[in-house]
Copies of this chain bind each other. A is one copy, B any other.
Amino acid sequence: MEEILTNRYISIKHPINGAPEESDFEIKSESLSPLPADSMKKKKEVIVKNLYVSIDPYQLNRMKSHSPSQSAINFASPVTIGQTIDAYGVGRVIASGNPAFEKGDLVAGLLCWGEYTVVKEGGLLNKLDPMGFPLSYHVGVLAFSGLTAYAGFFEVCKPKKGEKVFVSAASGSVGSLVGQYAKLFGCYVVGSAGTQQKVDLLKGKLGFDDAFNYKEETDLKAALKRYFPEGIDIYFDNVGGEMQEAAVANMNTFGRVAVCGVISEYTKKNKPSAPDMLDIVYKRITFQGFLAADYMKIYNNFISKTVEYLRDGKIQALEDILYGLETIPSAFLGLFLGGNVGKKMVKIAEDE
């Protein structure tokens, strides 16, 4: 690669401490230096043309002035003002100084919200075999969303057949898969979502036993009591807040709460959850926060099972794809407005 490339990318103008707005973001551009092949080899850099990039709620926590999560783990490190924002995605190698990759390779890994990504040595990048699936599947159902659902449900929730499972944000990228894995496993599954359309989707296409629109419920505890007259054994929590409190109140003894995300609390608009600790003690409830990255040991198992389910039509991959770099800010904002159905991502470029 000797020609000069212009890379346009999304960045934040300042820390974002509440709900994100379009004006918090800007499109910047940089010239990717046309390094001589020798220099690229020395640094073992790979330049990837981004095709699909993932849009995830957790990114908001990286954009805050201070978030406890920022110090906890490296891949949630703060986003720097004016710089690229890394994000999982799929792309094509257009130049490589790393012997593990060559021009034309299809890859998946930590790219960025931009047109190109310079992946440094040691960065998360793997050659991708699409296995006959659309490339977008390798950003969602066959990537971290899927692993989060699979590991969270099987490893964290430790389900038994016949148990009663509640999933919030059930039409989201992770929730929609949790519900489907739980049904295939033999659980009774109810999901909550924020529109009637989503509720219909859960009950129809995704085969949930039941579903409800939480926005139409004035008393979430009473609602869950209605949907779970025999109590909840497993709560897969994507939202936190009042819904979490209501789920704990309706939980059975030895119930498990997998805390995957607390999107209702990210923007700090809602009261944080204060689950009744007496319930937690007396009902011996386990509450566990987790991240998919801790479950790479079951990655192969997750992929082989999920590929099989997808091929047999037993799992539906819901996707919500926007087109073009410019749509990233609004795609991201939409996550906090409940607009998406399934895995949100942006297609940056055609794979030519």
B294 touches A289 (CB 8 A): no
Q: Does A119 sit at the interface, judged by CB under 8 A?
A: no
Interface status of A327 (Cβ within 8 A of chain B): no
Q: How many copies does the complex hold?
A: 2
A261 at the binding interface (Cβ < 8 Å)? yes
Cβ-based interface call for A121 (8 A): no
Q: Does A131 contact B (CB under 8 A)?
A: no
A68 touches B294 (CB 8 A): no
Q: How far is the CA of A4 from the CA of B281 in the complex (A)?
A: 42
Residue among B76, B253, B283, B288 making CB contact with A282, cutoff 8 Å: B76
Q: A231-267: which residues lie under 8 A (CB-CB) from chain B?
A: 240, 244, 249, 253, 259-262, 265-266
A280 within 8 A of B: yes
Q: A288: which B residues are within 8 A, CB to CB?
A: 284-287
B265 near A272 with CB under 8 A, answer no
The residue of chain B having its C-beta at the shortest distance from the C-beta of A61 within the complex is: B278
Q: Say which residue of B272, B279, B290 sits within 8 Å of A281 (CB atoms).
A: B290
User: What is the minimal beta-carbon distance from A291 to any residue of chain B, in angstroms?
Assistant: 6
Q: Known contacts A272-B274, A280-B287, A289-B283: does B253 contact A72 (CB below 8 Å)?
A: yes
The distance from the CB of A273 to the nearest CB of chain B, in whole angstroms, is 6
Q: Check A281/B259 contact, CB under 8 A, given A68-B276, A272-B276, A274-B274.
A: yes
Residues of chain B lying within 8 A (CB to CB) of residue A67: 278
Residues of B within 8 A of A76 (CB): 282
Residue interface mask A281-308, B partner, CB < 8 A = 1: 1111111111100100000000000000
Which residues of chain A in 54-79 are interfacial with respect to chain B, using CB atoms and an 8 Å cutoff? 61, 67-69, 72-73, 76
Shortest CB-to-CB span from A178 to chain B, Å, is 15
List B contacts of A282 (CB < 8 A). Answer: 61, 68-69, 72-73, 76, 289, 291
Q: Is A277 an interface residue (CB 8 A)?
A: yes
B290 close to A284 (CB less than 8 A): yes
Q: How many angstroms between the C-alpha atoms of A73 and B73 in the bound complex?
A: 39
Given contacts A261-B281, A272-B277, A277-B289, 19 further A-B contacts (CB under 8 A): A61-B278, A68-B279, A68-B282, A69-B278, A69-B283, A72-B253, A72-B283, A73-B253, A240-B277, A265-B277, A272-B276, A279-B289, A284-B290, A284-B291, A284-B294, A285-B288, A285-B289, A286-B288, A286-B289
